[in-house]
A and B are shown apart, each in its own frame.
Chain A
Amino acid sequence: MKLEGTRTLGAPRATVWEVLNSPQQMAELMPGVESFDVKDDRHWQAHVKIPLGLGAMRMSMEFEKLEEREPEFAKLQAKGTGVGALLSMETSFHLSEAGEATEMRWEADVRIAGPVGSMGQRVLQPIVNQQVQNVLAALDAQVQQAVRG
């Protein structure tokens, strides 16, 4: 499943870069993070509980930073296990200056492997879309917070 989009964030590029590259700040972006460990500057691990009305979906996520070109490009890989499914996601983002603001172009390739059971495809794609929107909204908020200092 390939997703992509562009979003303008109301902060200088350096600020946005900082938020996106701080594991701790990243942790704040993700929904339902219960614990977060920084193994080294390229590897992190998180336990997340994606809140769904029917009960939480628990996953264990491993992150690896694959590539970075400060301050304009980074590529991350995330692998999640749990719920009888495997999630792997490769995300990259390009930051460019847009006056005072920063334009972020992002791409994500999400793959879900495993017997997703009765949840099935019909709901997974909307769930992923929804989580991406949550992350982007949280990013916005984080960036604003960083601007405010």
Chain B
Amino acid sequence: MITVRFELNGEAVEREVDPRRLLVHFIRDDLDLTGTHVGCDTGNCGACTVLVDGEAVKSCMLLAVQADGTRVETVEGLAANGESSPLQQAFSAAHALQCGYCTPGMLMSATYLLRNNPEPTEREIRKGIQGNICRCTGYVNIVEAIQEAARK
């Protein structure tokens, strides 16, 4: 077991963790933040996307111990005091989610995109969410929601 300390959605976390445990399982099973999802076992689907030190990463391709000393943001951190962010609101308004399973990862990738590129083109949006698989929407309304959020 190794001690990890990091900042999770603005709060300090300190835990013992088995070095083999992936960050996604640590977040879900040990820290009980279940908004971050698992959709594959090969790092392809992006449902587990979180931000580590401001960068979008797949939390299934990172050991929990590698998060030591970092700042981690998950979907639970997007809504300040329960108030949905403009991006979250845009996802709802544009019907950019159906089952909602890919949504947390998609929102984290989109958050990362908009922080670094506040006025993305459609192509840039698509490139920005290429690492996130959605099986419900064909991405049509997701792209529209991100465009809409960028306009605001």
Query: Interface of A with B (CB < 8 Å)?
Result: 117-118
Count of interface residues, chain B, beta-carbon cutoff 8 Å = 3
Query: Interface of B with A (CB < 8 Å)?
Result: 41-43
Task: Please give, as numbers and ranges, the residues of chain A lying within 8 Å of B42 by CB-CB distance.
Answer: 117-118
What would 5 A/B residue contacts be, using CB atoms closer than 8 Å?
Answer: A117-B41, A117-B42, A118-B41, A118-B42, A118-B43
Query: How many angstroms between the C-alpha atoms of A12 and B37 in the bound complex?
Result: 64
Task: Please give, as numbers and ranges, the residues of chain A lying within 8 Å of B43 by CB-CB distance.
Answer: 118
Closest Cβ neighbor of B43 among chain A residues: A118
In the complex, how many angstroms separate the beta carbon of B108 from the nearest chain A beta carbon? 23
In the complex, how many angstroms separate the beta carbon of A23 from the nearest chain B beta carbon? 37
Closest Cβ neighbor of A120 among chain B residues: B42
In the complex, how many angstroms separate the beta carbon of A124 from the nearest chain B beta carbon? 16
In the complex, how many angstroms separate the beta carbon of B58 from the nearest chain A beta carbon? 13
In the complex, how many angstroms separate the beta carbon of B123 from the nearest chain A beta carbon? 28
In the complex, how many angstroms separate the beta carbon of B91 from the nearest chain A beta carbon? 30
Closest Cβ neighbor of B40 among chain A residues: A118
Query: How many angstroms between the C-alpha atoms of A32 and B101 in the bound complex?
Result: 44
In the complex, how many angstroms separate the beta carbon of A123 from the nearest chain B beta carbon? 13
In the complex, how many angstroms separate the beta carbon of A19 from the nearest chain B beta carbon? 42
In the A-B complex, the 3 residue pairs with the closest CB atoms: A118-B42, A117-B42, A118-B41
Query: How many angstroms between the C-alpha atoms of A118 and B43 in the bound complex?
Result: 10
Closest Cβ neighbor of B44 among chain A residues: A118
Task: Please give, as numbers and ranges, the residues of chain B lying within 8 Å of A117 by CB-CB distance.
Answer: 41-42
Task: Please give, as numbers and ranges, the residues of chain B lying within 8 Å of A118 by CB-CB distance.
Answer: 41-43
Closest Cβ neighbor of B42 among chain A residues: A118
In the complex, how many angstroms separate the beta carbon of A18 from the nearest chain B beta carbon? 46
Task: Please give, as numbers and ranges, the residues of chain A lying within 8 Å of B41 by CB-CB distance.
Answer: 117-118
In the complex, how many angstroms separate the beta carbon of B52 from the nearest chain A beta carbon? 22
Query: How many angstroms between the C-alpha atoms of A118 and B42 in the bound complex?
Result: 6
Query: How many angstroms between the C-alpha atoms of A117 and B41 in the bound complex?
Result: 9
Query: How many angstroms between the C-alpha atoms of A118 and B61 in the bound complex?
Result: 13
In the complex, how many angstroms separate the beta carbon of A83 from the nearest chain B beta carbon? 15
